[in-house]
Amino acid sequence: MAYGGYGGYVQLGRQPDEDENLLATFRVVPGPGRTLHQAAEAVAAESSIGTWTALSTMQQRVLSKLQARIYSINKRTGILKAAYPLELFEPDNSSQILSDIAGNIFGMKEVAALRLEDFEAPKSYLNTFAGPAFGMEGVRKLVGTASKSSRRPHLGTIVKPKVGLTPKEGAKVAYDAWAGGLDFVKDDENLTSHPFSRFEERVVRYLEARDRAEEETGQKKIYAPNITAPADLMLKRAELVRSHGGECIMIDVVTAGLSSVQFIRHQNLKMLIHAHRAMYAAFARSHTHGMSMRVLAKLCRLCGTDQLHIGAMLGKMEGAVEDVMQIHKDINGDGYRKQWKNIKPVFSVCSGGLSPLQVPGLYKIIGNEAVFQCGGGVHGHPGGTYAGSRALVQSLEAAKKGVSLEQYAKTHVELAQALAKWKKK
């Protein structure tokens, strides 16, 4: 029986053609007085062509060709699977994906809670997106860790405190991190351009520090300045970074917006795009309402980010190991589905409350194919940033050799100091 204007959108057992439809998975809690079937009808209708009442303008050709269809309902879990005809989606438009399958539906009375868990799309549609310019392997080639013998996790840090340091002070912190053996240094999510640290001066001083560290260590170093701003200003900032020899930029992908990320990617600036997920938990942390990080991660891969924060697993940020590893699987390889084969893999970044103490456990879980990034776990070291960087390098050495941190610390003073500070008594 149809409920209100929503009817005919649930067609259970009608398996969709995966080459002709975008498939979405939702978790639904029906609203008061509604059944799961009624909620499913409303979700499919409002996210495609329907609305709350019968329409005199609705034509049969539109209904039969463009309506979304719920083809599976799990009454125990509240999981719905919906198929959307591909004609509903504009090629190479990440924002429009969300406007469609995650538009009005979260505010409907038919649902008490609703979560967009996942989506898949045909290869023909995915291939309209640029994807990463470099991807994981491109980042590795730049740093020099692409070969089997040199393959390892990349090690990075964030200049701390998050804000407040002058460009000169921050550049000294960055230099100490690189000199201590780290590959990667980035701005934090809320550092853009401020009276105490103007973007232009910061970029110049940090890149000068990078050059000096490269010359002294003989190792490739990467700096990711945060260019997050309105799209036109982001482009100006990115061009300034490139003009001074920078090879990487960072964007807060949620707050800047997916379209802004695509805009920068389409400029073909030949720089890595490091994606910070600041604010993602506002919609992803609840397991009953909002949108999963998995959806955002896939969209970031389509938009062209080369590195993406996926969660620390063993640090301060919420995120179960199995959930984070599923995200890693989605973005870090050709994918478990052949549709993603032509979209370059993204380098996963594990960050948030990590220190040298968590590196062996993290390495055991995720292996070589990630960036291990420690902020406070480097700069909070009793010996300062240089010593903290050395301790992080030593921790990874121990993990790769299968030696306990306690044993390795006997001959590595920086690691011993890190253990003394952060190991729980």
Q: Of these residues, 81, 160, 298, 309, which one is catalytic?
A: 160
Is 317:310 a contact under the CB 8 Å cutoff? no
**143: nearest Cα among 218, 207, 204, 203:** 218
The SS3 assignment for 153 reads: coil
DSSP class of 169: H
Active-site residue, 276 included: yes
DSSP class of 344: P
Q: Which residues pair with 120 in a beta bridge?
A: 23
DSSP class of 341: T
Q: Which helix (H) or strand (E) holds 119?
A: strand 111-120
Active-site residue, 160 included: yes
Q: Which two tokens stand for residue 241?
A: 């970074």
80: region left, alpha or beta (phi > 0 left; psi from -120 to 50 alpha): beta
Q: Which helix (H) or strand (E) holds 176?
A: helix 167-179
- Rounded Cα distance between 277 and 274, Å, is 10
Q: Of these residues, 276, 298, 328, 344, which one is catalytic?
A: 276
| Cβ atoms within 10 Å, residue 155 | 22
DSSP track, 41-108: HHHHHHTTT--SS--TT--HHHHHHH--EEEEEETTTTEEEEEEEGGGS-TT-HHHHHHHHTSGGGG-
Residue type, 424: K
- Rounded Cα distance between 46 and 52, Å, is 8
Show which residues are catalytic: 160, 276
